[in-house]
Amino acid sequence: MTRKSIPVLLLLLALPLVLGFIAGQVTATNIPTWYTSINKPWFNPPSFIFAPVWTTLYLLMGYASYRIWQRREGNRIYLPLSLYFSQLALNFLWTFLFFGYHRPDLALAEMLLMWMLILLTIIHFARIDKAAAWMLVPYISWVSFASILTYYIMVLNPA
């Protein structure tokens, strides 16, 4: 790591954390009202689990994207990072669909697209840096679990 790359590292680490913090504000305002009033499946984790899990995932995501950025010979990183930033935008949007608009159905549909983009990101990251790709495996695993959770919340709370 060079001295010039430190600001990029900090930016790429901060970006998912800042987006997560903003989305967390929407979540936090809806937990004591809407979220506590809906039916949830038996495997729904307690609310205190989500913040440390997402913080860890966001740090792994940010560092993985930095590792790809470091290997920026030519335009080789354009597609992988475009996929990464696209899925990150969908990650941010999900909170607004689910918690902001109380639409688990739309959130689930959006999450399936996000899952596909995460998978494509992992595949394209692996072509450049296998460690960066592996850093996204916990993320896609958690999103897989969250998709199942979102599905059951949708089913248990018909509109």
| Residues 134, 121 contacting (CB under 8 angstroms) | no
- Tell which CATH classification among 1.20.1260.100, 3.30.1330.40, 3.30.390.10, 3.40.1130.10 matches the domain 3-156: 1.20.1260.100
- pLDDT tens digit string along 80-139? 999 999 999 999 999 999 999 999 999 999 999 999 999 999 999 999 999 999 999 999
Give the pLDDT confidence score for residue 66 in this predicted structure: 97
Spatial separation of the C-alpha atoms in residues 8 and 68, rounded to whole Å? 12
Three-class secondary structure of residue 42 per DSSP: coil
Question: And the tokens for 144?
Answer: 């897989």
Confidence of residue 143 (pLDDT cuts 50, 70, 90): very high
Residue 1, pLDDT above cutoff 90: no
What does the domain layout of the chain look like in residue ranges? 3-156
Q: What are phi and psi for residue 54, nearest 5 degrees?
A: -65, -40
